[in-house]
Structure 1
Amino acid sequence: MVGSFITGFGISIGLIVAIGAQNAWVLNKSMRGEHPAVVALVCCSIDALLITLGVYSVDWVQQRIPGLVPVLTWLGICLLCWLAAQAFWRVWHGSEGLRVAVAGAAVTKWQVAGQAMAISLLNPHVYLDTVVLVGSVGAQQSYPGYFVVGAAAASATWFFSLTGFGRYLGPKLRSPTAWRWFDATVGGVMVLVAVSLVP
């Protein structure tokens, strides 16, 4: 049970911390003080729903097409390696820090919630990460329910930490050097998760 929880937490946090459009947007909202708690709640709730869908739909598919899950797992390993390679490439060649948009007109909680849903659900990577990759790994666990809880806990931990510390973290990530260290950490996590998934 604990092993499934830890595996879920590890693979989820490894994918989420890769700074992309969604996380950069979350940092923007946090630094500008635009309802960061609402942003975190929407983002981690969507992740939890998609992770649950992925784990149990892949399990359903596995019962009918047994050879599919191993293929998806190897595709997931390849994806993690690709994301790690991109992170290490930015470490080597990157010359910019995080860019944060300036504050605009005040927005309501509902507007921010709608924006968070859009940037989460319209991002094709979220389905590849949560439904396909996380789902295929979760379907192989002895206790898939604990895996789902661990993966969802990682998402909640990340997004609430990101919004909670965003106004302090964001300015530091504007430095190219700090950005390189962050990317190096992300790349390392990706490699460790990929290795752990090799059958």
Structure 2
Amino acid sequence: MLASFLTGFAVSIGLIVAIGAQNAWVLSRSLRGEHRWVLALVCAGVDAVLIVTGVFGLDRVQQWLPALVPVLTWLGVGLLLYLAAQSLLRAWQGTSGLVASSAVAATGAWVLAGQALAISLLNPHVYLDTVVLIGSVGAQQPAPGWYALGAALASLSWFSALAGLGRYLQQWLRSPWHWRCFDAVIGLVMVLVAVSLLM
């Protein structure tokens, strides 16, 4: 059981930690203090559902996904380019740094949760990582339930770390120049991921 749990944690963390649009977007929202724990729970919850689906139903899902992949790819590219344009526009026009305060965030928790669901579910890479790669390894484990638990816990740990990291970077990002650079990097990462999906 422990071996399967640790294998699930290791495989999952190795795939999830890779820099991608979802991670960059969650970190940028966390830095702004916009309901960061809601985002962490939504993203980790989506991963958990997809991991369990992959571990326990990979054969059936592989029959469904081929028809969905082209549609999901184009929707994902469109969403990534939209979010990238927002980040790059902020980088171009930005005149102020991060202001940490206890004020209510500009975007509501439900809206951000919906955006987190969209950026997670419209990203074809998430299905490749969670359902296909993590799921295929899990289906071969002696204790697939423990494997799935370890993989889901790795996702929760990672997104919680992104959410918690925001407050430590706030001081550095009070500088307008640093914040604009951060927005530019986030935008470019999203563009690169969108281009990689097309290629």
Measured against the shorter chain, the TM-score band is 0.5 to 0.7
Q: 1:23-42 alignment to 2 at 5 Å?
A: 23-42=23-42
What percentage of residue pairs aligned between the two structures are identical?
A: 62
Residue 2 of structure 1 corresponds to which residue in structure 2? 2
1:81-125 residue CA offsets vs partner (Å, 9 max, x unmatched): xxxxxxxxxxxxxxxxxx99667x811000000000000000010
Partner amino acid for 2:131? Answer: V
In structure 1, distance between residues paired with 2:61 and 2:110: 36
Aligned residues of 2:56 and 2:139 also touching (Cα < 8 A): yes
Residue 152 of structure 2 corresponds to which residue in structure 1? 152
Q: 1:73-152 alignment to 2 at 5 Å?
A: 106-152=106-152
1:146-197 residue CA offsets vs partner (Å, 9 max, x unmatched): 0000000000001011101123258599899xx9xxxxxxxxxxxxxxxxxx
In structure 2, distance between residues paired with 1:61 and 1:34: 34
Partner amino acid for 1:132? Answer: V
In structure 2, distance between residues paired with 1:169 and 1:154: 23
- Aligned residue for 2:106, secondary structure, equals coil
Partner amino acid for 1:57? Answer: G
Aligned residues of 2:55 and 2:135 also touching (Cα < 8 A): yes
- Aligned residue for 1:141, secondary structure, equals coil
CA spacing shift, 1:51–1:3, aligned 2, 3 Å: same
Structure 1 outlier segments of 4+, above 2 Å: 58-62, 99-103, 166-176
Aligned residues of 1:59 and 1:139 also touching (Cα < 8 A): no
Can you give the 5+ residue segments of structure 2 that lack an aligned partner in the other structure? Answer: 63-87, 99-104, 186-199
1:15 aligns to 2:6 (yes or no): no
Residue 44 of structure 1 corresponds to which residue in structure 2? 44
Residue 94 of structure 1 corresponds to which residue in structure 2? none
TM-score (norm 2): 0.63
Count of residue correspondences: 141
- Aligned residue for 2:111, secondary structure, equals helix
Residue 55 of structure 1 corresponds to which residue in structure 2? 55
CA spacing shift, 1:141–1:60, aligned 2, 3 Å: farther
Partner amino acid for 2:136? Answer: S
In structure 1, distance between residues paired with 2:20 and 2:38: 19
In structure 2, distance between residues paired with 1:141 and 1:61: 19
